[in-house]
Structure 1
Amino acid sequence: MTQFFLSRAVGDDDSYAIRFFQDLSAKVRVISGVDGDVGFVETVESGSRSPWSTAARNALADCQTFVALCSPRYFLSERCGRQWSIFAERLRRYEKETGRRPPALISVPWGDSGGGEAVRQLIRLRSHRPRYEALLASVARQIMETIEEYQIPPMSPSFDPAKVPNAFGYAEVDSTDHAESGSIGQKPPRKDLVEAVSQRVHFIVAAGTRAEMDTVREDLRFYGERGRDWAAYRPALAEPLVAHARALAAEQLFGSDVAELDDLAERLDRARRNNEIVVVLVDAWITKLASYRRMLAEFDSHAEPSVAVLAPASLTDAETVRHGGELRAGLTRALPRNLARQDQLVRIEIDSPESFEVDLVAALEEAQNRIFSHGRVFRRPAQDEPVDRPILQGP
Structure 2
Amino acid sequence: MASPCPNGTRARRRVFTQDGGRVSDSAQRAPDHRPYFFLSYAHTPRYGGGGPDPDMWVERLFRDLCGHVMAMTDLPAGAPAGFMDREIRSGEGWSERLGEALATCRVFVPLFSPRYFASEMCGKEWYAFAQRAIYHQAKHNRSAEAIVPALWVPMPPEHMPGPAKRLQFNHRDFGDRYVTDGLYGLIKLRIFAEEYEAAVYELAKRIVSVADSTRVAPGSPVDYGLAPSAFGRTSGASRPMHLTIAAPTRHDLPEGRAPDYYGKQSQDWNPYHPDSARPLAYIAQDLVRSLDYQATVSSFDHELPPAPGQPPGRPEILLVDRWALEDDDRCARLAAFDATPRPWVGVVVAWNREDPQSRISEAQLVEKLERTMPHQMSQGRAACRAAARGVFSMEAFGQILPQVVEAAAQEYLRHATAFAPSPSPGAIRPVRARLAGPTAGFGSTPCTSATRGTPPDAEDTDDSQS
Partner of 1:42: 107
The alpha carbon displacement at 1:128 in A equals: 8.7
Residue type of the partner of 2:350? Answer: P
Change (3 A) 1:263 1:132: farther
- Residue by residue over 1:289-309, the C-alpha shift from the partner in whole angstroms, topping out at 9 and shown as x without a partner, is 123113212211222122111
Residue type of the partner of 1:15? Answer: L
The alpha carbon displacement at 1:134 in A equals: 5.1
Q: Does 1:137 find its partner at 2:211?
A: no
- Residue by residue over 1:53-108, the C-alpha shift from the partner in whole angstroms, topping out at 9 and shown as x without a partner, is 9xxx8999xxxxx978764242576xx4xxx4xx99xxxxxxxxxxxxxx769999
Residue type of the partner of 1:36? Answer: M
The alpha carbon displacement at 1:245 in A equals: 1.4
Partner of 2:333: 295
Distance 2:242 2:295 in 1: 6
Q: Does 1:72 find its partner at 2:72?
A: no
Pick the aligned partner of 1:338 from 376, 379, 387: 376
Partner of 2:136: 51
Q: Which has the larger radius of gyration?
A: 2
Partner of 1:307: 345
Partner of 2:289: 250
The alpha carbon displacement at 1:212 in A equals: 1.8
Distance 1:293 1:244 in 2: 25
Residue type of the partner of 2:299? Answer: E
Secondary structure of 2:364 counterpart: helix
Partner of 2:425: none
Alignment of 1:305-384 (within 5 A): 305-341=343-379, 343-344=381-382, 345-346=384-385, 347-377=388-418, 378-380=435-437
Partner of 2:240: 200
Q: Does 1:16 find its partner at 2:40?
A: yes
Secondary structure of 1:350 counterpart: coil
Residue type of the partner of 1:315? Answer: R
The alpha carbon displacement at 1:41 in A equals: 6.9
Distance 1:350 1:134 in 2: 53
Distance 2:263 2:190 in 1: 48
Secondary structure of 2:342 counterpart: coil
Distance 1:249 1:334 in 2: 27
Q: Give the conservation status (yes or no) of the 8 Å contact 1:205–1:228.
A: yes
- Residue by residue over 1:317-369, the C-alpha shift from the partner in whole angstroms, topping out at 9 and shown as x without a partner, is 12101100111122123213322436443412222223322321211122222
Change (3 A) 1:351 1:135: farther
Change (3 A) 1:211 1:142: same
Q: Give the conservation status (yes or no) of the 8 Å contact 1:23–1:136.
A: no
Count of residues in Structure 1 that have an aligned counterpart in Structure 2: 281
Q: Give the conservation status (yes or no) of the 8 Å contact 2:381–2:407.
A: no
Distance 1:222 1:334 in 2: 23
Distance 1:107 1:348 in 2: 54
- Residue by residue over 1:25-66, the C-alpha shift from the partner in whole angstroms, topping out at 9 and shown as x without a partner, is 968x98xxx9526xx97354993213359xxx8999xxxxx9
The alpha carbon displacement at 1:287 in A equals: 0.5
The alpha carbon displacement at 1:207 in A equals: 1.0
Partner of 2:258: 219
Alignment of 1:221-236 (within 5 A): 221-236=260-275
Partner of 2:320: 282
Alignment of 1:11-160 (within 5 A): 15-16=39-40, 36=72, 42-43=107-108, 44=129, 47-52=132-137, 71-74=160-163, 80=167, 84=168, 122=184, 129-130=187-188, 137=195, 140=198
Q: Structure 2: which 5+ runs fail to align?
A: 1-36, 42-56, 74-104, 109-128, 152-156, 203-212, 214-232, 419-434, 439-466
Q: Give the conservation status (yes or no) of the 8 Å contact 1:279–1:309.
A: yes
Same amino acid, percent of matched pairs: 18
Partner of 1:259: 298
Partner of 2:421: none
Secondary structure of 1:305 counterpart: coil
Secondary structure of 1:339 counterpart: helix
Higher helix share: 1
Q: Structure 1: which 5+ runs fail to align?
A: 1-12, 61-65, 89-102, 145-156, 158-192, 382-395
Q: TM-score, normalised by structure 1?
A: 0.54
Q: Give the conservation status (yes or no) of the 8 Å contact 1:68–1:108.
A: no
Q: TM-score, normalised by structure 2?
A: 0.47
Q: CA RMSD in A?
A: 5.3
Distance 1:368 1:107 in 2: 41
Distance 2:255 2:369 in 1: 15
